[in-house]
Amino acid sequence: MDSALDAAGLQNEAVREYVRYWAGVTGADRVEVVSASDDARLIQEALDAGELLPAGEGRYYSRSYYKDTARSEERTIVATNNPEDKGVYNNWRPASEMKPLLEDLMTGASAGKTMYVIPYLMAPPGSPLEEFAAGVELTDNRCVVLHMIRMARVGVDLINNLANPDSFVRAVHVTGDLENLGQGTPDDKRYFVTVADERTILHFGSSYGGNALLGKIAHGLRQAAYDGWASGRFLSEQFMLIGIKDKKTGKDYHICGGFPSASGKTNLAMMLPPDALGDRYQVSFYGDDIAWLWVGDDGRLYGINPENGAFGVAKDTNETTNPTALESIKEGTDVVFTNVAYNEKTHEVWWEGRTKQPPADLDGWLDWKGERIADRSEEDKDAPWAHPNSRFTTQLDNVPNVAADYNDPHGVPIDGIIFGGRTRDREPLIRAITDLPEGVYDGLTLGAEATFAAEGVEGQLRYDPMSMRPFMSYDEGDYAAHWLKILGGVKEMPIFAHVNWFQKDPEDGHFLWPGYRDNLRPLLWLMQLKEGEVTGRETAVGIIPTKEELNLDGFEGDTADLDRLLDIDVERWRQEMGFREGHLKQFDRLPEEIWEAHRRVAKALDEA
């Protein structure tokens, strides 16, 4: 094994020791250190082994085990040595209980396989947060390597010369025997554990996305959120990050923001302006899933995207909704599709919403489970062809609107912080908030709708604070205090806003707002508000644009819906305040400023 490490030029002795240890535990047959430059060879090996299928020139297709197609929140655990770290959402367990359990599960579990060593950086090299960014993922799964090469900066050089050679995240991934793990049963054997105060991630029993690409969610979000708090230096959030340039004034704005999983971050980050606004405005992509935020030397809030690729939801991606996404996955991009539908004869891929109707000629088409569409029984014939969580994985330099400076380690100054859930009523298109505690309070009460009575009270949200519910690594009260502390240190406060692209007509259920490219319009208003160019209309829950203030040039949506989109339903809001109180009461140590913000909003609603 040492010869494999030598041959790859892996010199960091702390990393070598870690690799030796886990190679011993997992019983892997051999060890291979990988860098991004190994991609073409690994792709060929995966094609030869049938782990990948060709999907056109420079495009690849993979299928994950059918019971392993999304993150598992129930099986995800944050472990530490301090019971005070237990929060409402982090499934906290003692580190002393979890480490031996995972080591036991992993013992001998990679026998007969190669253990790949993936040295990575979750940040552009040279970032002020670089000391939190280095990691080494060990995995026994080649497709995981191919995904990590796309999602992170990968290479031996990134970890050989760390300022502190021991300061890297230890991230061990063992796939396990996927057919015998009891996924979703009382005898579920999967464990996805982040031992946050030891910067060690141990994931057993999946090869999919956030369960297996450990640099991305487990390190980039959970571990980094913990590190940011423990060091007192930064925030790590499930946020997108975009630039909006006004070509007329030359002004550049940067907006970041949280939307719960599958609620529109990738689409917003890849947004092309509506045609009528394209001459004047340009939207650039910095990040679509994670942002690290800190206060720079000049007292402004700065943000970077620690990732190097996009792992985007395929569903409903088409020429109208997201032409940028289609460009970023075209031939020659080396994109990897997962769990979409695949044609074994023509090598085409398809997903729901790619075109209005699925391909008419069923010949060769297989659904996401690999079953022939033409052979479907009468009762299965309307089942989706692609899994609703099927995805594409592409590198940022394939994204046509990627910002010219996306690799700049210094990040970009943040002008606005937005939150947006899927809310069928109550939440207007946009409401702006200028007060810090009220902005943080708004993030903490972000939610997406409960869709069935069994999952929650009708009309009540499944709260997802700051869109971090599945990634929360420490106590929520401490988390709120950390937000107030970091943002409290900025000289130029970003403006906050809550947005909602998903309001529905109560009668016929259609989306009142066309969404996608039109989402630029409310964001332009927000930046104008920040600049003092518009005043909006004060309400109990924030400032709302007037119809006249929204730039509606070339708007093709129904302007009759705007009245409802730009209004608040005071009765629904009063009801919501009671739900919020119950939600916030779950959190220990919630800062008094947050409660004060809550009471202020409640009082304003009572008086409205």
Active site residues: 263
The token pair that represents 418 in the structure block: 């937005």
Q: Is 603 marked as binding a ligand?
A: no
Closer to ligand GTP by CB, 62 or 267: give it: 267
Q: Does the CA dihedral 7-13-17-19 come out positive or negative?
A: negative
Beta bridge partners of 54: 60
Angle at 461 between CA 229 and CA 354, to 5 degrees: 95
Binding flag, residue 68, ligand SPV (CB under 6 A): no
Binding flag, residue 569, ligand GTP (CB under 6 A): no
Q: Which does 431 bind (CB under 5 to 8 A by kind): ligand SPV, Mn ion, ligand GTP, none?
A: none
d(CA 529, CA 543): 9
d(CA 478, CA 232): 11
Contacts of 585 (CB under 8 A, 6+ apart): none
Q: What is the contact mask toward ligand GTP in residues 316 to 355, using x (rule: CB under 6 A)? A: x----x----------------------------------
What's the half-sphere exposure (Cβ side, CA atoms, 13 Å) at 180? 4
What's the half-sphere exposure (Cβ side, CA atoms, 13 Å) at 452? 2
Q: What is the contact mask toward ligand GTP in residues 414 to 433, using x (rule: CB under 6 A)? A: --------------------
Q: Is 210 marked as binding a ligand?
A: yes
Q: Which of 157, 134, 487 has the alpha carbon at shortest distance from 306?
A: 134
Q: Is 200 marked as binding a ligand?
A: no
Q: Please count the other Cβ atoms lying within 10 Å of the Cβ belonging to residue 441.
A: 25
Q: Is 547 marked as binding a ligand?
A: no
Contact 445, 580 (CB under 8 A): yes
User: What dihedral angle (degrees, nearest 10) is formed by the CA atoms of 170, 175, 176, 179?
Assistant: 160
User: Nearest distance from residue 261's CB to Mn ion, in Å?
Assistant: 5
Q: Is 141 marked as binding a ligand?
A: no
Q: Is 267 marked as binding a ligand?
A: yes
d(CA 511, CA 215): 36
Q: What is the contact mask toward ligand GTP in residues 481 to 520, using x (rule: CB under 6 A)? A: --------------------xx--------x---xx--x-
The token pair that represents 219 in the structure block: 């390190």
Q: Which does 519 bind (CB under 5 to 8 A by kind): Mn ion, ligand SPV, ligand GTP, none?
A: ligand GTP
d(CA 373, CA 278): 41
Please spell the DSSP secondary structure of 345-413, one letter per residue.
Answer: TT--EE-TTSSSS--S--TTEE-TTS-BGGG--GGGTTS-SS-TT-EEEEEGGG-TTB-TTTT-TT-EE
Binding flag, residue 288, ligand GTP (CB under 6 A): yes
| 466 torsion bin: left (phi>0), alpha (psi -120 to 50), beta (else) | left
Q: Which of 235, 230, 534 has the alpha carbon at shortest distance from 414?
A: 235
Q: Is 266 marked as binding a ligand?
A: yes
Q: Which does 168 bind (CB under 5 to 8 A by kind): Mn ion, ligand SPV, ligand GTP, none?
A: none
d(CA 437, CA 597): 6
Q: How many helices (H) and strands (E) does the chain have?
A: 16, 31
Closer to ligand SPV by CB, 217 or 335: give it: 217
SS3 call for 42: helix
What is the greatest pairwise CA distance in the chain? 74
Q: How many residues bind ligand GTP (CB under 6 A)?
A: 21
Q: How many residues bind ligand SPV (CB under 6 A)?
A: 8
Binding flag, residue 92, ligand GTP (CB under 6 A): no
Among 92, 168, 259, 350, binds ligand GTP (CB under 6 A): 259
Q: Which does 209 bind (CB under 5 to 8 A by kind): ligand SPV, ligand GTP, Mn ion, none?
A: ligand SPV
Q: Is 377 marked as binding a ligand?
A: no
The token pair that represents 122 in the structure block: 């979750």
User: Nearest distance from residue 325's CB to ligand GTP, in Å?
Assistant: 9
Q: Is 391 marked as binding a ligand?
A: yes
Among 209, 287, 303, 420, binds ligand SPV (CB under 6 A): 209
Binding flag, residue 519, ligand SPV (CB under 6 A): no
Closer to ligand GTP by CB, 300 or 462: give it: 462
SS3 call for 69: coil
Contact 274, 503 (CB under 8 A): no
Closer to ligand SPV by CB, 209 or 411: give it: 209
User: Nearest distance from residue 413's CB to Mn ion, in Å?
Assistant: 24
Binding flag, residue 147, ligand GTP (CB under 6 A): no
Among 124, 176, 210, 420, binds ligand SPV (CB under 6 A): 210
Please spell the DSSP secondary structure of 432-466, one letter per residue.
Answer: EE--HHHHHHHHHT-EEE--SGGGSSTT-EEE-GG
User: Nearest distance from residue 515's CB to ligand GTP, in Å?
Assistant: 3
d(CA 368, CA 371): 7
Q: What is the contact mask toward ligand SPV in residues 214 to 243, using x (rule: CB under 6 A)? A: --xx--------------------------
Binding flag, residue 261, ligand SPV (CB under 6 A): yes
Q: Is 459 marked as binding a ligand?
A: no
Binding flag, residue 267, ligand GTP (CB under 6 A): yes
Q: Which residue is nearest to ligand GTP (CB)?
A: 515
Contact 334, 397 (CB under 8 A): no
The token pair that represents 65 in the structure block: 């085990």
Q: Is 343 marked as binding a ligand?
A: no
**Interface residue list for ligand SPV (CB under 6 A):** 71, 209-210, 216-217, 261, 289, 311
Instruction: Could you list the residues known to form a binding site, using ranges.
Output: 71, 208-210, 261-267, 389-391, 422, 516-519
User: Which residues belong to the annotated binding site for GTP?
Assistant: 262-267, 391, 422, 516-519
Question: Residues marked as binding for substrate?
Answer: 71, 208-210, 261, 389-391
List of residues contacting ligand GTP (CB under 6 A): 259, 261-267, 288-289, 312-313, 315-316, 321, 501-502, 511, 515-516, 519
